[in-house]
Amino acid sequence: MRLLSIIVSATFLLLSSCSSWSKIKRGESLATRELSQKALFEYLKIPNPFYTDGAGNGPFKIDPILSVRDSLVIHGKVYFNDPMDSELLKKPLPNKSYRLKIPDSLANRYALTSDSLDYEHDYAMIYQFSPLLPTIDPEIYLMEIYMWFNYCQEEGCVRDLTRQYLRFKNKDRKIVFLDRVGLKNQNDFIGFGGFQRKKMEEALPGEKIIRFGW
């Protein structure tokens, strides 16, 4: 009888421990998602000097999945076939993905991408992010960012894709954007050719870029 009591008590303690650990892990995941979302929109508040002239047409679009990407493949086409990397990151990287929610207050400025979106030929500025990633400094985090954008000079524009890291500081759950961090010895830029600026300015929603040149 005593043995049975011990077994029951041990089982209860084990289940309680597993439940508590599960709650802790769920809490950590929720905190990481919320902090990543906060960091993302903190970055988007900052004017980007590279893309102020002809960055896109219509609201900015954001991929709803915050994820570390081993490669960038969209509709079967490979754009980058290697994962981003930095000597600043703490390995191994977390493998959690989170779904982004756009606050109602920003719904007129940002829209989530759809599965049918043609990233390469769309006129919009399009972002793809990872969650916040820990670095060797416990207060510093990196976030992957892929940017699809148009760069215009006078009457001509080109469609481009670039990738880099965003660096943030997290102090007492106050997240602050610090700077952009480039990749080391990795391809970080693709150009897709040119088109007329007037076409972008007059394009209807969903209309695709018709390119000329390379």
**Measured in Å, how far apart are the chain's first and last C-alpha atoms?**
82
Q: What confidence score (pLDDT) does residue 182 get?
A: 94
Residue-level length of the chain? 214
pTM over 0.95: no
CB atoms within 10 A of CB 24: 10
Residue 12's pLDDT is 44
Q: Nearest 5°: CA angle at 63, between 59 and 65?
A: 150
Q: Is 14 exposed, middle or buried (0-12, 13-18, 19+ CB in 10 A)?
A: exposed
| Chunked mean pLDDT (size 10), the chain, 214 residues | 47 42 38 89 82 74 96 96 96 93 91 94 95 96 96 90 96 90 93 91 88 69
Query: How far, in Å, CA of 95 to CA of 131, rounded?
Result: 10
Q: What is the pLDDT of residue 19?
A: 42
DSSP 117-159: --TTTBSS-EEEE---EEBSSTTEEEEEEEEEEEEEETTEEEE
User: What residue spans define the domains of the chain?
Assistant: 27-202
